[in-house]
Each structure stands twice: as structure tokens, then as C-alpha cells.
Amino acid sequence: MEETEQTARQKRIEKLKAELIKQQDIAEEAQKKISQTMLKLAKEERAFVIPSELTKAKTRMLGPMDDIFFNKMGEGKEAIGEVISTVLGIPITVRELVPQYTLSGIGNRGVRLDTFAAVLPEFLVTVELGADCYLGKKGAMIDIEVQKEDKDDHEYRVYYNGASIVVNNTPRGTKKFADIQRAVVIYISAFDVFGEGEMYYEIGKFSKKSMTPRRSPVTEIYINTENEDRSDPRMSRIADLMKVFKDPERYDFDEFPEFSRRKKELKETEKGVLELSSELQQFVDEENEKASKDTGKLIFYLMKKGRVDDAEKAIEDKYYRLKLLTEFRNGVLGAN
């Protein structure tokens, strides 16, 4: 009898413990959601900055080839869907769209996919493709980047972005290599990356001797606004799209209604201009703050090295200061 009571008592204790753990889990989950909400609100509050009139004027000069502008363009599924569909030459469905998408990368090098920035825009899109498409039935993750300046190793950047997408988005437990995530990197530049006079380059793997195409989970597509290709209907359509990308004032509502609508909204409506100007102002403020901190470090460095004349000139002469700051940030100032 005593043993039965003890067993019952033990069961009640175990039950209470289980209930306690359950309530703790509920409390932790609730706290986690509250923290996430507070963080999101704080982020949104920080993200909106009242822009100056000068910033608003500069905003109206921007277009899709500018990082900040394309970042905001990327918030529209329909607009980005038109870009992807035009480039790939197939109808697609955008399942998810994330501007400025950050990946952990491979090893110690992180990646920021921002279809909208030379720095590493981006954003992530899952597309639904036809059975005969070379990307496969399950679709692919698409990274769109825009690049105005030729100041990067573009091929290595595209390769690394694609590899990072595959590694980060292949489901855990995938057993067959044939089932790993497929990716497409669309790199839109204001210049011809390869200098061969083409508008469109699709980079793939080939056997060196026979030049036989080989399979790869990553497709690299380079398009530029410098050259034009009208060799077939698909290239002609891409060429028309590049004109809308290149010219900040150009729209094409007949061929690209969603892309043109989103572009016009950001450039010509009060809401769009304010939204874009706020982001530009925040970027300018952050750059100014960074420059101010770096200037202090620069002056300290010059004084420490006994270069008093350079320190005084850097304080008085803006352009000389920018020159020394560039050298200082690149680690070559000591060579002077």
C-alpha cells in the first residue's frame, strides 16, 4: 500500500515537472516573440530618417542601376518577377522576396545579396520553373546584383555568391548531390565585364578539350547596359529592359508595366520619394559618421608619425583629407 502511494506521489511529481517545463517553454517562446517584435520596432524606428531637401533632390536623379534605388525596387514581387522572367526567358512565380538578404557565407566570409547594390545587394527569390528548363523542375534561388563601378573582381564575387546560396539553402539531411539547391546569379552592370562587346553572357562549365557543356548547380548570367543585342526576341526584350535600367527617366509600361510602375512610384510619388530619400539620408549620415571617426584616427596616426604638416593640411583641405583617408583605409598611407 505504501509503495502504491509512493508511486502515485512520484507520478504526480513527474506530472507537475512536465507541466512546469511546458509552461517555461511557453513563457520562453512568448518572451522570444516579444523580443523579436521590440527589435523589429526599434529597427523600423531607426530605419526611417527625415531627409533634407537636398537629399530629396538627389533621390530624383537615381535609377535602377543605383544600389539604394534598386534595393527599394526589390520590395516589389511583381517588378522583380518581370526582371527574372525577362532574363531567363520563361514565365516564373516569385514565392519569396527579401531585399538585402544576408548569408553566413562559406568559412569566415559572409555575403550580402542585394540585387540592389554593388556592395552585395541583394535579395533572395524562389522561382517555379517549367519541366524542360535547364534549372530543373524544383526551381532555383535567384540573386540579382547591380554594379555601376568597375572596382571589384566581378567573376569571383558572382562565383562566391552562387556557392554561398547553394550551401546555405540546401536542406539539412539532403542525401543526394543531385538534390542540392540550384542557384542563378544575375549580374547587371553599367559596363562590359568581359570586354568582348556582348550584352549578355551566360557562364557555364565545359570540358576543356571537347568543349562539352557540363552540369553545375549555379548558373552565372552577366548583362550590361553598355552593349545591345537584337539577335533574337529574348535578347531584344532584355535589351529593352536594360534601357529602362540605364535611364533614370525612362519607363516602358507596354513591355514592363510592373517594373515601370514601381520605378515611377519611387521617383514621382510623394510617398515613394520620401521612402527612398529616408534610406539615402540614413546612408549619407552613416558614411559621414564613419568618415568622422576615420578622420580622427587619421589625424592621430599622422601626429604619431610626426607628420604635423600633413595633419594640419588634412584638417583644412577636404580633398587632401579624402586622399589620405583612402590611403589610410587601404593600409598604404605608411608608404608615403
Identify the CA nearest to 49 among candidates 266, 273, 281, 267: 281
**DSSP annotation of 179:** G
Helix, strand, or coil (residue 129)? coil
Give the confidence band of 1 by pLDDT, cuts at 50, 70, 90: low
Q: Which three cell numbers stand for residue 229?
A: 543585342
Mean pLDDT of 50-64: 72
How far is it, in rounded angstroms, from Cα 255 to Cα 239? Answer: 12
Would you call 290 exposed, middle or buried from its count of C-beta atoms within 10 A (0-12, 13-18, 19+)?
A: exposed
Q: What is residue 131's predicted lDDT score, i.e. its pLDDT?
A: 47
Q: What is residue 284's predicted lDDT score, i.e. its pLDDT?
A: 63
Q: What is residue 238's predicted lDDT score, i.e. its pLDDT?
A: 97
Query: What is this structure's pTM?
Result: 0.67
Percent of the chain with pLDDT over 70: 69
Q: Which three cell numbers stand for residue 19?
A: 507541466
Q: Which residue did the predictor score with more confidence, 41 or 213?
A: 213
DSSP letters for 46-102: HH-----HHHHHHHTT--TTSHHHHHHHTT-HHHHHHHHHHHHTS---EEEEEETEE
Buried-state track 97-119, b at ≥16 Cβ within 10 A, e below 16 = bebbbebebeeeeebbbbbbbbe
Cβ atoms of 205 and 215 closer than 8 Å: yes
Domains of the chain by residue range: 67-268, 276-335
Tens digit of each residue's pLDDT (9 = 90 or more) over 313-332: 888 887 787 778 777 776 76
Q: Which three cell numbers stand for residue 334?
A: 605608411
Average pLDDT, the chain: 76
Residue linked to cell 559621414: 288
Instruction: Tell whether the model's pLDDT for residue 123 goes beyond 60.
Output: no
Q: What percent of the chain is helix, strand and coil (3-state, nearest 5)?
A: 50, 15, 30
Give the confidence band of 237 by pLDDT, cuts at 50, 70, 90: very high
Cβ atoms within 10 Å, residue 51: 23
